Amino acid sequence: MKHAEILGIDIGATGIKGAPVDIMKGELTAARYKLDTPSSGKPKDVAKVVAELVDKFGWTGPIGFGFPGVIQHGVAKTSANLDNDFIGVNLRELFHETLGLPTYVANDADVAGMAEIAHGRGRGVMGTVLMITIGTGLGSALFRDGVLIPNTEFGHLLYKKSVFEHYASNRARKEKKMSWLEWGRQFTIYLNHLNLLLSPDLFILG
């Protein structure tokens, strides 16, 4: 393991994915590996699967986690697509105790956005940059002159009788059996709403 490598792990509602990353180059140094998220979605069960993933890579260095919820000082404040038992749990401590390795935890969309700012389409872009992640939910990462404004969770903005995430995420497309055109209309409404609120200089979709 090189000094500039970490193991990046994305905790999702349906899958837990990981790969070693060269943080200086912004490149994977091995193929990504995925395990199913346990059906209970509870912290200890998720931690066990994370341990399996770490063992798969024989990893002994630092690990960075992306988690689908608001994270403050390592503590989960929300858990939209996993069990509510996560709320109030110090994830940094949970994973450190489980793995015995240095850990860092942040909102999943925020860390995706940080990668885009450091190595991708957002690199060198001043002004307002908004990253939107599309999956089980709708994640968001907001930057002003390259500085992250964390935990925005714009997918939970109110829309109709619920929130945008329930109409414009990939899960919503599947559950409501929308055509791509129908889903595209819902997603466009979401983007137009964000554009009205923030007028970003750049949208990044992922």
Q: Which pLDDT score is estimated for 80?
A: 81
Query: Looking at residues 173-194, what average pLDDT do you find?
Result: 98
Going by C-beta distance under 8 Å and a sequence separation of 6 or more, which residues neighbour residue 1?
Answer: 20, 59, 60, 61
Q: Which pLDDT score is estimated for 177?
A: 98
Out of 3.40.50.720, 3.50.50.60, 3.30.420.40, 3.40.50.1370, which CATH number does the structure's domain 123-205 have?
A: 3.30.420.40
Q: What is the pLDDT of residues 74-126, one digit of tens each?
A: 999 999 889 999 999 999 999 999 999 999 999 999 999 999 999 999 999 99
Question: Which amino acid would we find at residue 45?
Answer: D
Just give the CATH number of 5-110. 3.30.420.40
Q: Which pLDDT score is estimated for 3?
A: 59
Domain positions in the chain are: 5-110, 123-205
Asked if domains 5-110 and 123-205 share a fold, the reply is yes
Within the chain, residue ranges assigned H as helices are 43-57, 91-99, 108-119, 165-168, 170-175, 180-198
